[in-house]
Structure formats: C-alpha cells, structure tokens
Structure 1
Amino acid sequence: MSYERFTGESAAMLLIDHQVGTMKWAKSLPFEELKRNALMLAKTARILKMPVVLTSSMEDYAQGPLLPELEAILPAEFAARIKRLGIVNAMEDENFAAAVKATGRRKLIIAGVTNDVCTVYPALSLALEGYEVQVVADAGASPTKFADEIALSRMEKNGVTLTSTNQVIAELAGSWATPEGGQIVEQVVMPALTNP
C-alpha cells in the first residue's frame, strides 16, 4: 500500500462541533489542550490556504456556539459554517456533505468533539466513500478515556488513519524552510510550545 503525503494543496480540513458546551463534556483530554490543538489546526489551514469546513450541532442548546477564536482565525469559513439541527453523522446533513464535496479534495483531515459521537460517524462514512481520512485524535476528545479509545479503534479498523496535531501540522508543512513553513513555526508551533 502506497502513501502520499497530505499537503495544503491536496487536503481539506473538517472541524466538527468545536463548541464551547460540547467541549466541556469531553473529559479524556484537558479542555485547554483540546482547544489549543483545534486552534492550531485552524491556524495552519489558514496559513496554507486550505479549504476548511466548519460545522456545529444545535448551537442554541447546551452545545453552545463554536469557539469564538475560530471566527477570528477563519472568518469566512465561520460565517459559512453548517449549522446542523441534531443530525449526529454530519455526512447525513446534505449541506455538510455538499460542502465537503465542494472542496474538491479526496484527502480529508478531520477533528471533532466528541470523538465517540461527532467524529466517528462522518469519518467512517467518508472512508467508506473512498476518501483518504486522517483523524486528529488529540484535537478531539470524548467523555471518558475508554469511550475515546473505542472510537479511535473503530475508526482505525475501518481504514481511517489516526494522527496527532503536531504530526499532521508537520506533514502539511513539509518543510519549515518555506515561507508557509516559517509562518507555521512562528504563529502556530512556537506559541503552543512556549504556552502549553
């Protein structure tokens, strides 16, 4: 089986339900670490000019709005976010599915909250449809470590590649010596390392 690197030119990013309420339900990772990793992905996507699809579920309920920092980082994508009305598998929401298709990319990087509900089903659906899917395990979390492990195992057994925030950012950058790589180091990596 051959592997081709995910790049800013070949991949799109799907950030699913990074909502202030939902994120508080995810206990398998500390809230601040989860938030930092999600925002690192958003900043990297902006620097590389990658297509990004944002979605939320039931913003007017306990799940709450998306992280306000996402609006500052990706204002156009935030404004165009897909507001689902309770559909668990985002790929079963016709607007989200259309937005994913509209990226024109077959390589997808997914991070979502929670991994055991919001991430697992669209990741499985997209892998079944023949997309190359990487799930950023530490830019999502679940209510328990056990729930998180089961969800990640289920995805991996069904053709999804698991990755971490730093790993996928390095893969996307390819080289820190390019102008974009330098921006990622300066604006994404170093702030995260110096303010963990």
Structure 2
Amino acid sequence: MAKTEPEPMRDQQQDRLLTPQNCVLTLIDYQPEQYSTITSTTRDEIDLNVVALCRLATAYDVPVVLSTVGVDLGVNEGTAQVIKDELPGVEEIDRTGVNAWEDPDFRAAIEASGRKKVVIAGLWTEVCMTFPTLDMLAEGYEVYPVADAVGGISPVSHQRAFERVIAAGAQPITAISFGSELMRNWAREDSDNLRQVMRWYFPERQRLGLDGGGAR
C-alpha cells in the first residue's frame, strides 16, 4: 500500500528531538574580527550554513537570539551583513565578555524563549560556542552546537572544543540536519519549508566550490 500520509505528530514541546516548538537558535559573534582569524574552515562554508540556519529558523518560527561582543566598546563591528539580512527585526545583544552566558541580557533572551533546547553557533568554536555551551549544560539545558556553522583559529582548536563540549553532554548537529529534524516528515504540509532551503543550499554549495548534493 502506498504511503502518502505522515505518521502521527509527536508532542512538539515534549519531543526528545528538536521541533519548531521546543528549541531556540542563538548565533554569537559573527563579526569581521572573528572571521579574520578562522583557519579551521572557510568563510564561505560558515556563511552558507549560518544563512541556512537563519532561513530554517524563519521558516519554522524558531526564535533567534543574536549576540555580538565589543561593538558598544568601539572595538568590533557588528554582525556580518549577510546574516543580518536574513534576520529582519532581530536585535543584536552586545556584550563585553567572551562568554555570552555571563551577560544578563543574553541569558534573559534565552530564558524568555521558554525553551530548554538551545541550538548554538558562534565564532570562535573554542570560545564563543564552547563557554556558553558548557554553562548552559550545567544549568540543565540541552545544547546542540552546529558543527558546520562554526570555526576555530586552528583545526586542532576547533576539534578539541567539540571534544570538550561533547564530553560535557552537548549534541552536535549540522545546518541541514537541523532542518530535517524540524521538518521530520516529507508528507507534512510544512515540508516545503525545508525543500525550499535545500533547493537553494545545494546549488549554492556547488557554486561556491564546496561539496555538492541534492534535494528531494
């Protein structure tokens, strides 16, 4: 018998996996000064996957917390324009500290979402992703670092940072796995949200000379 109907939807708030109703996305310190010292990957790879995260979060109404460091101090520039363009209406939360979780406004924004699953990406991997991840895990959050949307000052610093947060309980994902986990079933009415992102994503990967792929 042909299968054309989705399986029954699980509780979207209590689901053990990520759903549009149980997670929040945070993007930390995607600023020129941070990009300039990344060597574990390329800026094209990072931007492709961060833009994909933004588009998926927008399509599935996942709240986004966007943070910068040192802008008010006059030390750094703000979030890269390619990312800000994808998040109209999302205000940047500037900080003085490298650990976003120590900033009260950042903490308040995560807490205000009412969600305990935090999808996180930040530059650098070993600092701006790692420190808040460790703190949030210690405070009972489930944290999902996006491995292909981050970068470190060296391959070893990036790798060791992931080893550290995994040992503490973090659950790494990728940009497209994030979208697949939100969508979950190709027969659902909102599955076109993921299809549209994938139809942009894979040709863009090929255009940039990154690994290719295909969408359903």
Same fold? TM cut 0.5: yes
CA shift, 1:81, in A, is: 1.5
Whether the aligned pair in 1 keeps the contact of 2:27 and 2:122 (CA below 8 Å) is yes
Deviations 1:37-81 (A, max 9, x none): 0110011000111111000111342x422021232221111xx22
Whether the aligned pair in 1 keeps the contact of 2:98 and 2:127 (CA below 8 Å) is yes
CA shift, 1:94, in A, is: 0.6
Whether the aligned pair in 2 keeps the contact of 1:57 and 1:84 (CA below 8 Å) is yes
Matched, 1:174 2:207: no
CA shift, 1:15, in A, is: 0.7
Aligned to 2:195: 185
**Quick check: which has more Rg, 1 or 2?**
2
Pairs aligned (count): 189
Deviations 1:82-105 (A, max 9, x none): 1112x0110000110111100100
Instruction: Tell me: CA distance 1:128–1:184, structure 2 relative to 1, closer, same or farther (3 Å).
Output: same
Distance 1:134 1:107 in 2: 7
Greater helix proportion: 1
Instruction: Tell me: CA distance 1:176–1:73, structure 2 relative to 1, closer, same or farther (3 Å).
Output: farther
Matches within 5 A, 1:29-40: 29-40=41-52
Aligned to 2:204: 195
* Unpaired segments ≥5 residues, structure 1: none
Distance 1:162 1:29 in 2: 17
Residue from 78, 83, 93 that aligns with 1:82: 93
Matches within 5 A, 1:3-82: 4-59=16-71, 60-61=74-75, 63-77=76-90, 80-82=91-93
Whether the aligned pair in 1 keeps the contact of 2:180 and 2:194 (CA below 8 Å) is no
Q: Secondary structure at the match of 1:162?
A: coil
Distance 2:192 2:154 in 1: 37
Aligned to 1:118: 128
Aligned to 2:10: none
Matches within 5 A, 1:93-132: 93-132=103-142
- TM-score (norm: length of structure 2): 0.83
The residue type paired with residue 80 of structure 2 is L
Distance 2:50 2:187 in 1: 24
* Unpaired segments ≥5 residues, structure 2: 1-14, 206-216
Supply the RMSD in Å over aligned alpha carbons.
Answer: 1.4
Whether the aligned pair in 1 keeps the contact of 2:119 and 2:145 (CA below 8 Å) is yes
- TM-score (norm: length of structure 1): 0.91
Q: Share of identical aligned residues, percent?
A: 29
Distance 1:179 1:70 in 2: 27
